[in-house]
Chains A and B, each alone.
Chain A
């Protein structure tokens, strides 16, 4: 006697669990019960769980009876003719969706020839056990799981043609690859998802070899000639947005060329691109600091209106300008209104990105790398037939990662390029590696993909045969131009007088606790002091009471607020952060007295 639960609630018992489940399943396949229903028998606790609730991940499988797939060749032909739809297959009970629980009771065959009497279901295709992105990895079943995973994740970061109407869109941080191509080595899913309508990479010639150590530790060497011919070239788009906000008291922002008497006026040069309406004109070349949309705002507090200064306008400058280290061309100007009826100006900035040292590239197998060197075409190695690789990939990236598909794709791409056809690399259903190799041999190449190559600089032949081929490479959205950062002098924080933090604020690079320790361990005491001099201040200290005294700049005299001016007052150098600590101690009623004495 088995207990029966419906959506986790006890509803009754069943005398014969086998018959009961068979009956439920039968009714479901006949369409008498909802196809959303799943039933599971748990042997350990002898209970039957029926689920029709929402939120269960389910997947379709072909139903198998007596070791035979219910979906036959006849059905397939009917589907091809359009006589049968997916829903028809479900209605007829040929295909059913199983949830995680019911899968526990199912015995699923991978391929049709594997079917035995015990099987209950047949996989529609092994491809459907992975998601869309993973199915785009060619020969993915030859890779180790972690690399297949990163390979699939990397594709999401690739630059390509994300939307064809990008020209009239205002998306944030968008990149478009200039000459995207469809991959030579593709999979079935590439066709299904119409990958050629929004491709995200380029087919290039890759040689697996080192180049003077410039491609060690996962870096890559790129041919300068390939870049000049358009490899990896992309455009970066970023919108600048300004809105005329309304404030209480009928005041509002004003998009215009700011007057010279506006508070915080930059300089005439910064506003030079603005037209009469305060907005920049398209196709203007702009660089760091240039104003894109001129805007003024009313004063923050009405009381701060300066009564005695009639001439000065109280409005303050709030223009949108180019960020630090940023440059580009104005692409597109849009003037509109937002939901609240405020004037809204959006200006799109465009910047061409040519591959440079530090840009990130990857194949589709998680073999990502950063450009380590760009070599002139003439200095690149070349093959006997005169082929010069576009990219040199380090052989050390292969053994530990075991991305076999990377190598197979390389050979496959070579065959595809030579034979003028696309290679099918569908997961578990790919073309046979041996056939590909034979085909390569038939083109007069070594069947293992290696070729004799020559040093581009000296012209000498390499001792080793180099593994070269064609493969699909992706440019990833992480580009140095968006990340490079350095600082010598720059903005400081108001409170601590220490450098600001982060690239956006042109911040400093923190020398942290452990880094400090290395200076101490090395015994370079004065170097350490100099390194931490960013917030140093000189304060007058009263030697009588040990608190901070005051320097009267007008009369050039020192005095202490408690002890008057008849005391010894010395200028002491300390970090501003320590002065802050003293202030904080005072604020909690602790009297930190500095007692001074000569150091020597």
Chain B
């Protein structure tokens, strides 16, 4: 009996709501009562739907814009770790909504698979993720002009921590820099230029170049910080490289995340990027102690991701997609848009708000949307 009722309402109400009602109702509720509940639920549902012609975008813009004027410019500092802070507040929101590719503070939160997240050897795991360049393991680098060689003095202690041997470093050097014969002598590495001699300029350039040679770890991860979250250990990093991190066998690829939305879009797809925009923006707003309905943020995230790539709310991003010339011209670089439109003979259909405000026509929103249709006697 009640099953039939639920079936009937399945066309009218979203599945999720019907399931919620099913769960909430006590067992053996009478059909009449169930019907009443469903009727009320339907009424409530219809009432909370957005009306046709509601300016949802503008309301979202105002709902996010107004509280963000109260945000502070403070950055959040990691206690105890020097120079590791995160952009939050308005700068971060601007960064996300602009769809910037280079973040001020790229960051990852790496969750680990079961045996590894218990805290054993967490420092070693963390340290192995961190990107190490040559300059971090050498004490001194100099050029021997007479021999036309580059001489590196290694930091033995540092090597021990990183579980590296001089032989490994020599291998890396040979691989990444052609034209040098690399050999070890005591705790030093000597690099002799093959072929052309006396080309000091070249040698000097090489010397500067090898300083930044990648030796170990994941590229782009400049700091690591193991943190205990509830019962689990996670690694927070400065710098982000989602693609490479996910390939590591001990990393839990379901919960590991980054704050770089473009990286998520390219590794996990737009849907993930959309969710990540929502999460990131919402987190910032929540951290500031402000209250914005998620649906406003969801709308913004949807707009940014509609056509499959992440686009910022800038004149190069979402705004450039507007169909109206006048609307585009009214937002930054007017002349560029007008001239380009005139070159191809673009037509403005006056379908959106800004153009109609400019022409002093009723805007097609709210009361301006419906038209009156009557039959005219001929």
Contact = CB atoms under 8 A, between A and B. Distances in A.
Interface of A: 516-518, 520-526, 528-529, 532-533, 535-536, 573-575, 577-578, 581, 585, 590-591, 595, 599-600
20 contacts: A517-B61, A517-B62, A518-B62, A520-B353, A521-B58, A521-B62, A523-B54, A523-B366, A523-B368, A525-B364, A525-B368, A526-B368, A529-B361, A529-B362, A574-B359, A574-B360, A575-B358, A575-B360, A590-B339, A600-B372
A599 to B, nearest CB: 7
Contact of B367 (A525, A535, A599): A525
A595 B347 contact: yes
B342 A525 contact: no
B373 interface: yes
B308 to A, nearest CB: 29
B365 interface: yes
B357 interface: yes
Interface string B350-378: 00010001111111111111011100000
Interface residues of B, number: 28
A429 to B, nearest CB: 42
Given A521-B62, A525-B362, A525-B365, A599 B339 contact: no
Contacts of A522: 366
Contacts of A524: 366-367
B317 interface: no
Contacts of A523: 53-55, 365-368
Interface of B: 53-55, 58-59, 61-62, 338-339, 342, 347, 353, 357-369, 371-373
Given A517-B58, A525-B366, A585-B338, A532 B360 contact: yes
A354 to B, nearest CB: 40
A526 B360 contact: no
Nearest to A581: B358
Contacts of B369: 525
Contacts of A581: 358
Contact of B358 (A521, A577, A590): A577
A591 B342 contact: yes
A198 B73 CA distance: 48
A526 B367 contact: yes
* Residue of A529, A532, A575, A577 contacting most chain B CB atoms (<10 Å): A529
A446 B122 CA distance: 71
A49 B104 CA distance: 44
Given A517-B62, A523-B367, A590 B360 contact: no
Contacts of B367: 523-526
A520 B355 CA distance: 13
B270 to A, nearest CB: 28
Given A517-B58, A575-B358, A525 B373 contact: no
Contacts of B342: 585, 590-591
Contacts of A595: 347
Contacts of B359: 574-575, 578
B293 to A, nearest CB: 15
Nearest to A537: B360
Nearest to A577: B358
**In the A-B complex, the 7 residue pairs with the closest CB atoms:** A523-B366, A525-B368, A575-B360, A590-B342, A521-B58, A525-B362, A525-B363
A599 B371 contact: yes
Contacts of B338: 585, 590
Given A521-B59, A525-B364, 11 more contacts: A521-B58, A523-B53, A525-B366, A525-B367, A526-B368, A528-B357, A574-B361, A575-B359, A578-B360, A590-B342, A600-B372
B366 A578 contact: no
A574 B356 CA distance: 10
Given A575-B358, A585-B338, A590-B339, A528 B363 contact: yes
A590 B335 CA distance: 11
Nearest to B62: A521
Contact of B357 (A521, A532, A536, A590): A532
B357 A516 contact: yes
A321 B62 CA distance: 47
Contacts of B364: 525
Contacts of B62: 517-518, 521
Contacts of B358: 575, 577-578, 581
B371 to A, nearest CB: 5
A441 B61 CA distance: 62
Contacts of B368: 523, 525-526, 529
A526 B58 contact: no
Contacts of A591: 342
* Residue of B58, B347, B359 contacting most chain A CB atoms (<10 Å): B359
Contact of B360 (A517, A521, A536, A599): A536
A506 to B, nearest CB: 23
B362 to A, nearest CB: 5
Contacts of A532: 357, 360
B49 to A, nearest CB: 15
B313 to A, nearest CB: 15
A247 to B, nearest CB: 42
A532 B360 CA distance: 7
A533 B365 CA distance: 18
Contacts of A578: 358-360
Contacts of B360: 529, 532-533, 535-536, 573-575, 578
A56 B149 CA distance: 58
A575 B359 CA distance: 5
Nearest to B353: A520
Contacts of A525: 362-369
Nearest to A535: B360
B360 to A, nearest CB: 4
Contacts of A520: 55, 58, 353, 363, 365-366
Contacts of B357: 516, 528, 532
A599 B350 CA distance: 11
Contacts of B361: 529, 574
* Residue of A523, A535, A577 contacting most chain B CB atoms (<10 Å): A523
A577 B347 CA distance: 20
Nearest to A534: B360
A524 B357 CA distance: 12
* Residue of B339, B358, B366, B372 contacting most chain A CB atoms (<10 Å): B366
A525 B370 CA distance: 11
A271 to B, nearest CB: 41
A516 B58 CA distance: 11
A234 B366 CA distance: 53
A480 B306 CA distance: 54
Nearest to A574: B359
Contacts of A575: 358-360
A565 B55 CA distance: 43
